[in-house]
Structure 1
Amino acid sequence: MERAKEAENRVTYASRNLGSGFLFGVGLIAFIDESVFHQLLRWHHFYDKSTTDIGLISDGLFHAFSWFATIGGLFLFADLRRRNALRIKRWWGGVFLGAGAFQLYDGTIQHKIMRIHQIRYDVNVLPYDFIWIAVAIVIILIGVVLLYQTREKTHE
């Protein structure tokens, strides 16, 4: 009975480590995207199909989303630490997977399919798209490797 409960806890906390890291990774990469590409470089807004005012409002909402995701991930991280269930390598795997997944979603769905904004305007976007998506794939692969290294092995 005790052994079954211990195995259940390992699975539960393994998924919580992944979930916490994933949420933090999404929030972190969204924050970096919004801060660097929207504010510092001013290449685009989150929603560019309307006025500049609407674009700025959409950036504010995007910024709020990124911070809610980041803080939510950190609350889950703190809970894992409190329970002495933090598996830091698995958590980092979740961070990389979340960040890469968001960047891939942004570069394919938002940029190309929905066309709510592009990385840049008035330039050939092909090199930017290639780099954006290639970096997303590399980040995802790092996360997958870390998660693979921390998977539960059953020997029974």
Structure 2
Amino acid sequence: MEKGHSSVSDHTYVKRNLLSGFLFGVGLAAFLDEVLFHQLLQWHHFYDQSTTQMGIISDGLFHAFSWFATVGGLFMFADLRRRKKAWIQKWWGGVLLGTGLFQLYDGLIQHKVLRIHQIRYVENLFIYDLIWNVIAIFLLITGMMVIRSDGGSRRKKKP
């Protein structure tokens, strides 16, 4: 195989590893948000600007989205492993990026811009918003560091 062809292929597989991890990370963050904050703690619904019934329906749609993203990311990862093209560090970097980006989007866009729900309905939201968004930024920065620290090397699958 030509050298140029191999580098194009490697670049394609790096992107697939990142995308697979990113989808899994988005799905994981959405799933944890749904289970912890919507169901167990019952702090809010995905859409709180209507009836409780509409809030529960929106939670169900949100939950379905989280599983589509999670399963899609895992199917892509399984394909990468089957092809022996799984870069585990790139994948984990993608997971952290997806988780952090989802959380930052949720905290800034859904909570503050669109106001479809808040983290929790209490008088002083600032501390909740601060913690939520600081964790999101930490996850994003950590994901970028994990991706960059890899140096392009690929962890080979053990026999």
Q: Under TM normalisation by the shorter chain, which class is it? A: over 0.9
Deviation at 1:151, TM superposition (A): 4.6
> How big is each residue's C-alpha offset from its partner over 1:37-91, in whole Å with a ceiling of 9 and x where there is no partner?
0000000000000000000000000000000000000000000000000000110
In 2, the alpha carbon distance for the partners of 1:58 and 1:123 equals 25
1:9 aligned to 2:32?
no
Letter in 2 for 1:29: A
Match of 1:23 in 2: 23
In structure 1, the residue matched to 2:156 is none
Alignment partners' CA distance in 1, 2:93 and 2:18 = 7
CA distance in 1 between counterparts of 2:55 and 2:115 reads 14
Give matches, 1:3-152, under 5 Å: 3-152=3-152
Q: TM-score, normalising length from structure 2?
A: 0.94
* Residues 130-154 of structure 1 deviation map (CA, whole Å, 9 limit, x = unaligned): 000000000001100011112549x
Shift of 1:5: 1.1
Whichever residue aligns with residue 7 of structure 1, its letter is: S
| Superposition TM-score, scaled by structure 1 size | 0.96
What amino acid does structure 1 have at the position aligned with 2:90?
R
In 2, Cα distance between equivalents of 1:151 and 1:26? 24
Return 5+ residue gaps in structure 1 as ranges: none
Distance 1:128 1:75 in 2: 34
Question: Which consecutive segments of 4 or more residues in structure 1 shift more than 2 A?
Answer: 150-153
Q: Tell me, in whole angstroms, the C-alpha distance in 2 between the residues paired with 1:16 and 1:138.
A: 23
Once the two structures are superposed, what CA deviation does each residue of 1:96-129 show, in whole Å capped at 9, x if it has no partner?
0000000000000000000000001133110000
Shift of 1:4: 1.0
Could you tell me how far apart the structure 2 residues matched to 1:151 and 1:138 are?
A: 21
Distance across 2 between alignment mates of 1:61 and 1:134: 27
Of 30-39 and 141-150, deviating more is 141-150
Residue type at the aligned position of 1:10 = D
Counterpart Cα distance in 2 of 1:41 and 1:151: 41
